[in-house]
């Protein structure tokens, strides 16, 4: 008997006919469709949920819940869709918030994000080393003012007024291209952000960074920026990677994936296959 004949034999023995077809992710989905579908869910009423993809489980929209997970890492090989993911998140932010509620700082050392996130939400766009240093320094100085001053009593801290102003989103493309942390002359480009990342919820900071894997196991241990991101419980979107060199959780390997696809992994080990919504093309 051939393999094709086994199904007929099983049907005769069990009485089972053809089952429903397995739903699969499409090759492409527009970000506008993802956002529109999410707006019709109960979670869509919370502006702090940023839909940017659809998931394999039920083909439902997947959102970054800023209330509990304020930051995110995106990691994969070249041409995997990292920049598209940042553009999708940036455009979703502009649709979920007003410019008075949210501002976006774009750090783009290779100018791959140019033109993809525009409008009054964009606080700054920086691509040269000096400009990146300047905009990060200005932003972090503003965010530090949102922290409680020293010397307050417990009662004063309990009665302290919460910070006011827009949430600050920092979208970093090609984080591996920024000035690294092992320099003697100058601190790393992301160094001013480090004390604030683990206090993101407290100051309204949201860092979404994309990078190449490099020596991923070593980077996670040695890179202070990645340490702070994982310390803040940031989920990681593992896009196209070498399964032999990149583990997504414990002994589970990353996958070779087509552009736009990824495995969204939380620090607790929850894994969801996703397809990032295609954002509108920049001018």
Q: What is the pLDDT of residue 162?
A: 83
Token pair, residue 280, equals: 């509108």
Q: What is the pLDDT of residue 224?
A: 93
Token pair, residue 143, equals: 């965010």
- Cα separation of 246 and 128, whole Å? 30
Report pLDDT digits (tens) over 57-97: 888 999 999 999 999 999 999 999 999 999 999 999 999 99
Name, in order, each residue with C-beta under 8 angstroms of 139's C-beta and a sequence gap of 6 or more: 105, 123, 124, 168, 170
Q: What is the pLDDT of residue 282?
A: 62
Positions of the chain with pLDDT under 50: none
Q: What is the pLDDT of residue 21?
A: 53
State the pTM of this model. 0.88
Beta bridge partners of 54: 61, 275
Q: Which fold has domain 19-147+165-276?
A: Rossmann fold (3.40.50)
The DSSP annotation for 165-183 comes to: S-EEEEEESSGGGS--TT-
* Cα angle 128, 131, 135; round to 5: 140
Report pLDDT digits (tens) over 120-161: 999 999 999 999 999 999 999 999 999 998 999 999 999 988
Q: What is the pLDDT of residue 181?
A: 82
């Amino acid at each position: 008997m051939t393999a094709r004949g086994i199904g007929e034999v099983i049907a005769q023995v069990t009485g089972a006919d053809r089952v429903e077809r397995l739903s699969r992710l499409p090759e492409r989905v527009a970000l506008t469709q993802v956002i529109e579908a999410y707006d019709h869910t109960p979670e869509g009423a919370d502006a702090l949920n940023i839909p940017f993809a659809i998931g394999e489980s039920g083909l439902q929209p997947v959102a970054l819940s800023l209330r509990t997970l304020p930051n995110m890492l995106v990691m994969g090989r070249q041409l995997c869709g990292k920049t598209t993911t940042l553009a999708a998140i940036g455009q979703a932010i502009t649709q979920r918030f007003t410019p008075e509620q949210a501002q976006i700082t774009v750090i783009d050392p290779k100018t791959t994000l140019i033109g993809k996130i525009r409008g009054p939400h964009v606080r700054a766009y920086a691509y040269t080393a000096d400009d990146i240093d300047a905009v990060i320094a200005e932003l972090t100085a503003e965010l530090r003012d949102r922290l409680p001053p020293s010397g307050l009593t417990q009662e004063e801290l309990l009665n302290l007024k919460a910070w006011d102003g827009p949430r600050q989103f920092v979208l970093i493309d090609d984080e591996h291209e920024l000035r690294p942390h092992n320099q003697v002359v100058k601190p790393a480009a992301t160094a001013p952000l480090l004390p604030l990342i683990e206090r993101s919820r407290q100051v309204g900071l949201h860092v979404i960074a994309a990078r190449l894997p490099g020596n991923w196991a070593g980077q996670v241990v040695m890179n202070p920026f990645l340490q702070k991101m994982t310390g803040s419980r940031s989920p990681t979107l593992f896009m196209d990677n070498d399964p032999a060199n990149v583990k997504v959780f414990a002994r589970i390997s990353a996958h070779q994936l087509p552009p736009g696809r990824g495995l969204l992994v939380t620090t607790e080990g929850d894994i969801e296959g996703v397809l990032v919504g295609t954002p509108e093309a920049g001018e």
